[in-house]
């Protein structure tokens, strides 16, 4: 059973500058609730018991958000405001399941994942990228079911317009396992339209095997001088590891760019 999830939060968030110059984008409210809380709720509903946040010194505000007990206790003592009491209880619930590790230099998603190596107990774990919100259906829960069915790693997949493939990681697929699931042959980072093996893009939900850590610890930097998680996945696939692309049913919202962030607010307001 998959009981642990990791969430990389140590990136620079340059697409949301100037806001991210002083603020953690994952705490920005989406229809009144910080983005990270949607991600945590998805994990809890999917049966996850421990969530590891990878943060940096610059993102310590995220830790503070969950560790502000003294302040809450003082306000509650003085005001007895029922809304504050409710919010504090919710934060305590999250705090119980969160652990923090640090990545002080943003050397890439793969390097961020490597920081959790000592904390991962099971053979597989879930990873969620917090910029990618998926609403209307719990994608992590569906992926855990697929993992249990096929005893494999799983990556969320979504059909994108062919003309936009160069913005995404794109799957090269082999066998169709069933209506929504395919075996992955390869993942190509940001291909040109001509070179794209499909129009199925990687979205930020992964069930990864523990043996990815040994790949990551030996991995040399790839595109842009960063250690990419996709490169480690690629070498596992080449060695015969089974990875399934899961075409999820929920609605994808991109919260990592300003346009996407604004649209996400509007979409969630409609729910
Ligand atoms: P991105 O590279 O897509 O986003 O990383 P970013 O760095 O946060 O923002 P931009 O692109 O500069 O606007 C995907 C996820 O991986 C984390 C990020 O925090 C984000 O959640 N990440 C990225 C790390 O934790 N460490 C890294 O070294 C790089």
Each domain of the chain, given as residue ranges in start order, spans 4-269
Average pLDDT, the chain: 96
pLDDT reported for residue 205: 98
Q: Whose CA is nearest to atom 18 of ligand 1?
A: 11
- State if residue 260 touches ligand 1 by the CB under 6 angstroms criterion: no
**Homologous superfamily of 4-269:** Spore Coat Polysaccharide Biosynthesis Protein SpsA; Chain A (3.90.550.10)
- State if residue 133 touches ligand 1 by the CB under 6 angstroms criterion: no
**Rounded CA separation 103/20 (Å):** 17
**Rounded CA separation 30/258 (Å):** 12
Residue of 5, 6, 7, 11 best suited for mutating to test ligand 1, as the one with most atoms within 8 Å of CB: 11
CB contact at 8 A, 107 and 226 = yes
**Rounded CA separation 230/22 (Å):** 29
pLDDT reported for residue 56: 97
**Which helix (DSSP H) or strand (DSSP E) does residue 92 occupy?**
helix 82-97
Look at residue 58 and tell me whether its pLDDT is greater than 90. Answer: yes
Look at residue 110 and tell me whether its pLDDT is greater than 90. Answer: yes
CB contact at 8 A, 182 and 245 = yes
- The residue count of the chain comes to 271
Band of residue 178 on the pLDDT scale cut at 50, 70, 90? very high
How far from 191 is each of 162, 204, 254, CA to CA, in Å?
Answer: 11, 18, 20
| Residue 144 vs residue 223, higher pLDDT | 144
What is this structure's pTM? 0.97
Q: 180 in helix, strand or coil?
A: coil
How far from 5 is each of 119, 122, 126, CA to CA, in Å?
Answer: 11, 11, 4
pLDDT in tens, 65-81: 999 999 999 999 999 89
**Which helix (DSSP H) or strand (DSSP E) does residue 129 occupy?**
none
Percent of the chain with pLDDT over 70: 100
Band of residue 223 on the pLDDT scale cut at 50, 70, 90? confident
Residue of 109, 127, 219 best suited for mutating to test ligand 1, as the one with most atoms within 8 Å of CB: 109
Stretch among 36-40, 45-49, 221-225 having the lowest mean pLDDT: 221-225
């Amino acid at each position: 059973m998959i009981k642990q999830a990791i969430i990389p939060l140590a990136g620079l968030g340059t697409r949301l500058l100037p806001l991210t110059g002083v603020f953690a984008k994952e705490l920005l409210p989406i229809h009144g609730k910080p983005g990270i809380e949607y991600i945590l709720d998805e994990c809890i509903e999917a049966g996850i018991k421990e969530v590891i946040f990878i943060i940096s010194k610059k993102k310590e505000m995220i830790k503070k958000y969950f560790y502000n007990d003294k302040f809450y206790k003082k306000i509650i003592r003085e005001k007895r405001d029922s809304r504050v009491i409710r919010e504090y209880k919710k934060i305590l619930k999250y705090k119980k399941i969160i652990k923090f590790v640090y990545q002080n230099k943003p050397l890439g998603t793969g390097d961020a994942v490597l920081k959790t190596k000592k904390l991962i107990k099971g053979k597989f774990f879930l990873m969620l990228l917090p910029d990618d919100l998926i609403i209307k259906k719990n994608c992590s829960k569906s992926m855990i079911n697929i993992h249990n069915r096929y005893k494999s790693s799983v990556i969320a997949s979504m059909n994108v317009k062919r003309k936009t493939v160069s913005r995404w990681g794109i799957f090269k697929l082999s066998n169709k396992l069933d209506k929504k699931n395919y075996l992955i042959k390869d993942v190509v980072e940001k291909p040109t339209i001509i070179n794209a093996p499909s129009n199925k893009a990687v979205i930020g939900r992964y069930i990864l095997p523990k043996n990815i850590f040994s790949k990551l610890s030996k991995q040399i930097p790839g595109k842009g001088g960063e250690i990419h998680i996709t490169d480690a996945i690629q070498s596992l696939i080449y060695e015969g590891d089974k990875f399934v692309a899961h075409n999820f049913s929920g609605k994808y919202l991109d919260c990592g760019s300003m346009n996407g962030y604004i649209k996400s607010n509007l979409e969630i307001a409609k729910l």
